[in-house]
Structures are given as C-alpha cells and as structure tokens.
C-alpha cells in the first residue's frame, strides 16, 4: 500500500496515467504517460490540494510536540547542546570533508591554515549560537559566492543537517529571533547565472520527487510484482520517471550535497557520473543495467548486513575487532545502501526498508513546513507538487503543453513563498 494512502488520493493520480513503451511517443522513452482525460485538470488539482492539506495537518500535529511559543533568544544563547552535536557531527564532518575550502565556517573564530584549510573543530562553538543563524544572503558577483557568503552557507548546511536528523527544537528556537535570515536562503544559487541548487527548497524537492515516484509506482503492481504481471519490458526501473528520480536525488557535484545524503544511502547510488551524459540520453531511453553503468553504480554496494558479515569473518580469523574495523575502513568496505537487494526498492526483501524510506521522505516535507511557518512563510506546496508531476510524467515532445493548460494557468513559480 502507498504511504499515507488514507489521506493522499494516490489512486486518483495513478488513474490519470498509463504505461507506455518506448516508441509510443516522440520522446522515445518508456514511461507512465498522462491519459489526457477530460477531467484530468480538475482531478490533478484536487490531488495537489489534498497532498498540500495533508502536509499542513501533519505539520501542525508535529508542531504541538514543541512549546507553543518560544521567547526571543539572546544572540549569544547556545542552542546546539552536546547531545545534538554528537548526533549530527558525522554528517557535518562528511559535508565539510568533501569540499573543505568551501565549507570552512568562515566565522570570527575561524583559524585557517597557511594553505587556506580550515583548522577549526568540525562544529565550532560559535556555530552553535543563535547568532550563527543571523547571517543574511549577500548578493555576489559570479564565482564570488563562497568569498562573500561562506559563513552564511555554513549555517544553511547546518540547518539542513538538523532537519535531516529531526532536530527541530534549535531551528524553532532560533526562528523566534527577528534577525534570523533563513527566508532569504529558500531558493538560491551561487549567482544569477547558475542553477539554484543550494537553497533549503532542495530538501523539499528531492524528498518530494522520491516520495511521489515510489508511491505512484506502488499503484502499478504490474510494474514491480511478477504475480501481477510484471515482465522485463514493464519493469518500473526502465522507465523515464524512475531513472529521472534516481538521477535527481543522487547526483554529486552540486553546491549542496547534503540534501542528497538520505537518497544516496537508500538507492545505493552515490558516485554517479550522469552529469557528463548527453541530456537527450539521461533517462528512460536505456535498459536499467545500462543506466546504472552510466551512473557508475554497477559495482557491489555493500549494505549494513554485508559489512557486519565481513567483520565477523575477519574476527573468526583471529583478528581483534578494532583491527578488523580498521582494515575494512582502509578498504572502504562500508555500508553504501540500505537495500538488502541493491537497485530494486520493490523487491520483496526490501519492503521494510522501502516503508521506512517513504516515511522518512514524508517527515522531511513536514519538518520543512514546520520551519517555514516558524519563519512566517508559506511553502507553495501545490506548485511544487504540480511541477513534480509534470517533470516525472509529462513529455515536452507530445503532451506537456496541453497538460500545463489543463492543470491551470500553465505558470508555476516554485521560487515564490507567501507571507502568512
């Protein structure tokens, strides 16, 4: 059963889609395609509104777990206690180590080495204060983003990390201060001529794409269940919408990699090279095995069970546990995915992990909505949902323009937010 099936009308959305093989459309990709029924616009609008309403209701319910109102904190208040720091520090170290020069905290207490490398602790004490959340987005020239906004970006990545770990209390506390500038970081890029890939809207868009993709797939058992008629041809993994989601949620090399971490972990695709593939051949025109080869993800992806088994085997050989762990770390034999059967979320052996992942994606959406409301913002969920539907199942070569018209005005500004 799809996640939140009792609140979100997944069958209404899926009833407007049909499986279509490659060659049935000018775009030449296997995909679910819109049926273009007369009532499609009204039904999809109803779906988007119901989805957005459900987020709002869950956000309000989750918010009741915290104090009804936070007093305005002092700029010097420390809002990240040791328990929170201990919980999030592995993630902080990860995004700092990947591009150390860009992720230097840049704060007043920063101690750069003579070669420019930041010598601060992974999470300096200054970054745990309310004042770290005051750093506004400063407009910059091309290639000058990190020169001008390094400190502000550090805090933005910290906020994303807190959301991923479910630590909302520090965010809610900080948001009670009028100088907090997280509104300015909603939708942004390094400069006006670069992709807007660093704002916290990316948390919403990645989680939403994965959530929509997998829940709609649930509604077509003939694409994943042999007993329901699945064949090699109808396998969901060959479709454009699934491959597009995989690419979108696991790509490396964007400004803010942290938003990809949970999706890379689930899908087990963590070092793909699709950025170098021609746009016309990125997804939906290749068998899945060839698609994985393009992503650089055909090698074995050990999960936690694999890692535990290998460590047990080394210890059975007489090696101390500490040495076994060190050997495995040196060999980079660490968990790279949560799926027991790699690259197939709907394999029966992966049902538990899939359910947990869908729940987690939903929690990200709810947490982002909580933060937005604490900042007196309203996320344009209907726009984001509509945009996601079109990106996954529309086709610019045959029906995308008409689908835009049926969905409404045809103009969906996902950068906009409304003040409450």
Residue 200: the pLDDT is: 97
Q: Which two tokens stand for residue 367?
A: 């947490």
Burial class (CB in 10 A: 0-12, 13-18, 19+), 363: middle
Residue 49: the pLDDT is: 96
Between residues 174 and 396, which one has the greater pLDDT?
174
pLDDT digits (tens, 9 = 90+) for 61-97: 999 999 999 999 999 999 999 999 999 999 999 898 8
pLDDT value at 378 more than 50 = yes
Between residues 269 and 356, which one has the greater pLDDT?
356
Residue 275: the pLDDT is: 45
Find residue 377's DSSP bridge partners: 419
Mean pLDDT of 162-169: 98
Find residue 20's DSSP bridge partners: 31
Q: What is the mean pLDDT of the chain?
A: 84
Residue 280: the pLDDT is: 47
Cα distance between residue 346 and residue 6, in whole Å: 21
109 to 91, 100, 118: CA distances (angstroms): 21, 16, 11
pLDDT digits (tens, 9 = 90+) for 319-375: 787 777 777 776 667 666 788 888 999 999 999 999 999 999 999 999 999 999 999
Residue 100: the pLDDT is: 62
Mean pLDDT of 122-132: 93
Domain spans of the chain, in order of start: 10-63+200-301+337-419, 89-177
Cα distance between residue 95 and residue 331, in whole Å: 21
289: number of Cβ within 10 Å? 11
Between residues 365 and 120, which one has the greater pLDDT?
365
3-state secondary structure (DSSP) of residue 146: helix
| Closest to 32 (Cα-Cα) out of 214, 205, 204, 206 | 214
Cα distance between residue 412 and residue 388, in whole Å: 11
pLDDT digits (tens, 9 = 90+) for 295-319: 765 556 676 667 777 777 878 878 7
Instruction: Please report which confidence band the pLDDT of residue 109 belongs to, taking 50, 70 and 90 as the band edges.
Output: very low
pLDDT digits (tens, 9 = 90+) for 16-60: 999 999 876 666 789 999 998 889 889 999 999 999 999 999 999
What is the percent of the chain where pLDDT is above 90? 57
Instruction: Please report which confidence band the pLDDT of residue 105 belongs to, taking 50, 70 and 90 as the band edges.
Output: low
Mean pLDDT of 205-209: 97
Per the CB < 8 A criterion, the answer to whether 345 and 224 are in contact is: no
Per the CB < 8 A criterion, the answer to whether 272 and 260 are in contact is: no
């Amino acid at each position: 059963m799809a996640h939140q099936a009792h609140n979100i009308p997944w069958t209404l959305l899926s009833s407007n889609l049909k499986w279509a093989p490659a060659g049935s459309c000018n775009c030449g990709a296997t995909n679910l395609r819109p049926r273009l029924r007369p009532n499609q616009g009204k039904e999809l609008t109803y779906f988007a509104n119901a989805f957005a309403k459900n987020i709002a209701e869950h956000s309000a319910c989750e918010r009741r777990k915290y104090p009804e109102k936070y007093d305005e904190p002092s700029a010097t208040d420390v809002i990240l206690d040791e328990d929170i720091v201990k919980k999030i520090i592995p993630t902080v170290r990860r995004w700092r180590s990947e591009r150390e020069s860009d992720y230097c905290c840049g704060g007043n207490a920063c101690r750069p080495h003579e070669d420019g490398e930041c010598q601060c602790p992974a999470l300096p004490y200054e970054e745990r204060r309310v004042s770290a959340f005051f750093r506004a987005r400063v407009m910059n020239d091309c290639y000058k983003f990190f020169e001008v906004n390094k400190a502000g970006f550090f805090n933005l990545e910290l906020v994303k990390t807190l959301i991923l770990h479910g630590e909302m209390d520090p965010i809610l506390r900080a948001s009670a201060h009028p100088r907090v500038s997280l509104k300015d970081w909603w939708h942004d890029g390094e400069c006006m001529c670069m992709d807007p890939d660093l704002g916290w809207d990316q948390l919403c868009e990645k989680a939403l794409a994965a959530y929509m993709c997998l829940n709609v797939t649930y509604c077509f058992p003939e694409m994943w269940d042999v007993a329901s008629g699945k064949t090699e041809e109808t396998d969901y993994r060959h479709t454009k919408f699934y491959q597009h989601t995989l690419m979108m949620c696991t790509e490396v090399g964007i400004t803010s990699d942290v938003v990809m971490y949970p999706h890379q972990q689930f899908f087990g695709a963590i070092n793909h090279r699709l950025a170098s593939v021609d746009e016309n051949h990125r997804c939906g025109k290749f068998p899945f095995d060839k698609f994985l080869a393009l992503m650089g993800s055909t090698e074995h992806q050990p999960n936690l069970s694999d890692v535990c088994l290998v460590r047990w085997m080394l210890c059975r050989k007489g090696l101390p546990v500490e040495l076994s762990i060190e050997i495995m770390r040196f060999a980079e034999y660490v968990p790279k995915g949560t799926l027991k059967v790699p690259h197939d979320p709907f394999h029966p052996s992966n049902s538990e992990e899939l359910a947990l992942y869908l729940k987690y994606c939903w929690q990200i959406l709810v947490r982002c909505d909580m933060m937005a409301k604490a900042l007196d913002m309203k996320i344009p969920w209907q726009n984001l949902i509509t945009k996601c539907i079109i990106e996954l199942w529309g086709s610019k070569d045959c029906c995308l323009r008409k689908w835009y018209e049926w969905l409404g005005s045809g103009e969906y500004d996902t950068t906009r937010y409304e003040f409450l």
